[in-house]
Structure 1
Amino acid sequence: MTTSQPREPLPDALPPPEEPADATAFLASPPAHRWGFGAFLLVEVVLLASAAFVSVLVGDTGPGPLPIRVVLLGTMLPTMIAAAVAVLVTYVRGNGPLVDLRIEWRWADVRVGFKYGCIGLVFTTVAAYLWTRLVGDANATSAISSLVEDRQMSVSAAVVMFVYLWLLGPICEEVIYRGLLWGAAERLQWRSERWGRVAAFLLSTAVFAASHLEPLRTTLLLVIAVPIGLARLVTGRLPASIVAHQVNNFLPALTILLGALGVASF
């Protein structure tokens, strides 16, 4: 006859799971993406190629009111296609646009973006005035302003262009320059995270100004780009620079709208 061995008492509760060694840092640092400057160059090629294709497709519009198809195709479509490709890159080679492009909605970022946008609007207005006095009205006019100068538009076309210049265009451009290009620059091995952000700010500001392909206005575009980039630098997220860009674009977009409708002259 055998005697049963006494069983060891079960623990009252299972031990809690071990926390990662640096859980806070893990949550604060998003997963690394696999795209870099090659992705940005691809987006730039798409932007230039689509602009050239649309230019051929539109052709000579001739005299008279500017057709709405020119507004939709010539000024909007290339940038929208390029921004869509940038977003697609983050899905194919990264973690999606919300993580890779730092698209996180915070009201604090809206306030920061509005503040830097207003500051930028003041500096841009002063810089534009001085630049006009220096080089003349003709050389200080943007490419879009030249497109609609002395050409009346239909109400629908003027409104579409206003909404694009004020709201949609800044979103697309920020996704490309302060999103994709910024992320590519930060991905490089810098001495510290701070230096990576500063390098991303400087590079995206310079490339943003040069990418408009308006050599005479590059200096003015640099003035415009600095406050927008600072909003991205200070917050670390894209919505702040989007808001700053939209605030900065409001008055120029309104001027083009009124001019296109014949309410005011450029």
Structure 2
Amino acid sequence: MDEGQEPPARAALVLGAHWGFLAFFGGLGGYYLVTILLAILMPGEFGGFDPTDLPDGGPLVLLAFLPTLVLGLGPAIGSWLWGRGLRAEFGVLPTLRDLKVGLACGVVALVAGYLASLVLLSFDGDGRGQDDPVTELGDGSALGWRVLAAVIVVFAAPLGEELLIRGALWNALARYRIPEWTVVVLTAVVFAQLHGEPDRTVVLLVQGVAIGMARSVTGRCGASLVAHAANNLPPAVLLFVGG
């Protein structure tokens, strides 16, 4: 096969289905496996566990993100084993157009999430459960750890989630000619459920749709990654407020 030529259709099949499904469930399985291992090693003792004996609990902040960082491993490995590589399969490196579309969709996600929160507050006057838990992770941590946590929130965590949801899962669904608007909605539902925050499900759902539109417009994960990063920027900034 000539370099750059598309592989045959059945080359993308693993166990009779598009390899993206296996990559998706592999990444998701890794996420829950790491979560379970952390729960076993630190059963309800996050506040007292300090594996590196550093002050202010900084490593605990990073451990909280570890399962999310594992999400992208399945899609990455799948693209190397059965696809055309990470960049060719997902378009993960943003282009100039990705930046423009991604930033626009990121702003839409922020505004939509804010409006959804206002609607929810009208039904839940005390605002219980509406705060973003990311802003609580930096409490008590030194500045250096907060900076590293902010980098994870804005860049690393969106990369793992985008490779899993709007990368592997999106490609697999598109392989079977599912209408694109349906793919946008389905991936937004998965995005919302993955966060495990029932009180913020509606907010995450509308934000997921806005982020998915970046992928839909450009056909690339680079754009949805930029949108996701823009959406996560305010919570990351709040890591430095009130500490």
Same fold (TM over 0.5): yes
Q: Separation in 2 of the partners of 1:198 and 1:51?
A: 32
Alignment of 1:106-185 (within 5 A): 106-135=95-124, 136-148=126-138, 151-185=139-173
Alignment of 1:1-266 (within 5 A): 32=9, 33-34=12-13, 35-59=19-43, 60-62=45-47, 66-75=56-65, 77-103=66-92, 105-135=94-124, 136-148=126-138, 151-188=139-176, 190=177, 195-259=178-242, 262=243
Shift of 1:219: 0.8
Structure-2 change in CA distance of 1:112 and 1:127 (3 Å): same
Q: Which amino acid aligns with 1:61?
A: F
Q: Separation in 1 of the partners of 2:192 and 2:137?
A: 19
**Structure of higher RCO (CA pairs closer than 8 Å, 6+ residues apart):** 2
Shift of 1:133: 4.5
Partner-residue secondary structure (3-state), 2:87: helix
Instruction: Say if 2:134 and 2:236, in contact at 8 Å, map to a contact too.
Output: no
Structure 2 gap segments, 5+ residues each: 14-18, 50-54
Q: Separation in 2 of the partners of 1:106 and 1:30?
A: 24
Partner-residue secondary structure (3-state), 1:157: helix
Q: Separation in 2 of the partners of 1:43 and 1:55?
A: 18
Structure-2 change in CA distance of 1:40 and 1:141 (3 Å): same
Alpha-carbon displacement from aligned partner over 1:181-206 (angstroms, at most 9, x marks no partner): 10111122x3xxxx543332221111
Instruction: Say if 1:90 and 1:96, in contact at 8 Å, map to a contact too.
Output: yes
Q: Which amino acid aligns with 1:221?
A: L
Structure 1 gap segments, 5+ residues each: 1-25
Equivalent residue pairs, number: 226
Q: Which amino acid aligns with 2:20?
A: G
Instruction: Say if 2:57 and 2:140, in contact at 8 Å, map to a contact too.
Output: no
Instruction: Say if 1:117 and 1:228, in contact at 8 Å, map to a contact too.
Output: yes
